A and B are shown apart, each in its own frame.
Chain A
Amino acid sequence: QKEVEQDPGPLSVPEGAIVSLNCTYSNSAFQYFMWYRQYSRKGPELLMYTYSSGNKEDGRFTAQVDKSSKYISLFIRDSQPSDSATYLCAMSAGGGNKLTFGTGTQLKVEL
């Protein structure tokens, strides 16, 4: 079993839809949770990061962490074609520690 599981997609949605991206994990030591967006042939861009359980909102993006279920989510509201990319979840047990990544979910937002 992988430490972090993420549905690879591809996920195709119409413009304006609400997108839900999810990851599950098995290591209870993970405390820090991040979502990255990666466009083709580019480096990942940090979208959101959270510590422990709870919600965090930034514009159209909301990150949720449920440590009791070992489940994290990223919601994208009013999705745009420019949101089409691969979304990677990542988590860490502590500051400066290496990240463990999900395999990434490929998202396509269609006009």
Chain B
Amino acid sequence: GAVVSQHPSRVICKSGTSVKIECRSLDFQATTMFWYRQFPKKSLMLMATSNEGSKATYEQGVEKDKFLINHASLTLSTLTVTSAHPEDSSFYICSATPGKYEQYFGPGTRLTVT
């Protein structure tokens, strides 16, 4: 149990375009989902916390207009990187919690902006 999927697993896009990443909890309802960014050999950096049906809460320094988060249902959250630039290239990982304290992570999405 407690499976979280992400799609796509890898995406390459041109500078200036937008990219949408989906995060789904497959076998539980996620009251809260989180989006992280991870640089090579670094720990996870929390970008935002998303609750179903309400606006996401962004961490300090994260541009909410650039990283649009939608939590449309208890099993789906999306992250859209708008007007992507090469510096946005990174490993993006989502996690979901069923309401208890543990978080279950997706497999990650590697974004490369050329």
**Genuine A/B complex:** yes
List chain A positions with a Cβ less than 8 A from chain B. Answer: 31-32, 34, 36, 41-46, 49, 51, 88, 90, 92, 94-99, 101-104
Pair B101/A43 contact, Cβ less than 8 Å: no
Q: A101-B43, A104-B43 are in contact. Are A46 and B104 (CB under 8 A)?
A: yes
Number of B interface residues at 8 Å Cβ cutoff, please give it. 26
Q: Which residues of A contact B2 (CB under 8 A)?
A: 46
Q: Which residues of A contact B99 (CB under 8 A)?
A: 95-96
Q: Which residues of B contact A103 (CB under 8 A)?
A: 42-43
Q: Which residues of A contact B28 (CB under 8 A)?
A: none
Q: How far is the CA of A5 from the CA of B103 in the complex (A)?
A: 20
Pair A45/B43 contact, Cβ less than 8 Å: no
Pair B101/A41 contact, Cβ less than 8 Å: no
In the complex, which residues 10-38 of chain B have their Cβ closer than 8 Å to any Cβ of chain A?
31-32, 34
Separation in Å of the A105 CB from the closest CB of chain B? 11
Which A residue's beta carbon lies closest to that of B94? A43
Known: A43-B108, A95-B97. 18 other contacts (CB 8 A): A31-B101, A32-B101, A41-B108, A43-B6, A43-B105, A43-B106, A43-B107, A44-B105, A46-B2, A46-B105, A49-B102, A92-B101, A98-B34, A98-B46, A98-B49, A99-B103, A101-B43, A103-B43
Separation in Å of the B108 CB from the closest CB of chain A? 5
Q: A96-B32, A102-B43 are in contact. Are A46 and B102 (CB under 8 A)?
A: yes
Q: How far is the CA of A92 from the CA of B99 in the complex (A)?
A: 13
Q: Which residues of A contact B91 (CB under 8 A)?
A: 41
A-B contact list, 29 entries, CB within 8 Å: A31-B101, A34-B101, A34-B102, A36-B105, A42-B107, A43-B95, A43-B105, A43-B106, A44-B44, A44-B105, A46-B2, A46-B102, A46-B104, A46-B105, A49-B101, A49-B102, A90-B103, A94-B101, A95-B97, A96-B31, A96-B32, A96-B97, A97-B101, A98-B34, A98-B46, A99-B46, A102-B43, A103-B42, A103-B43
Q: Is B81 an interface residue (CB 8 A)?
A: no
Q: Which residues of B contact A97 (CB under 8 A)?
A: 101
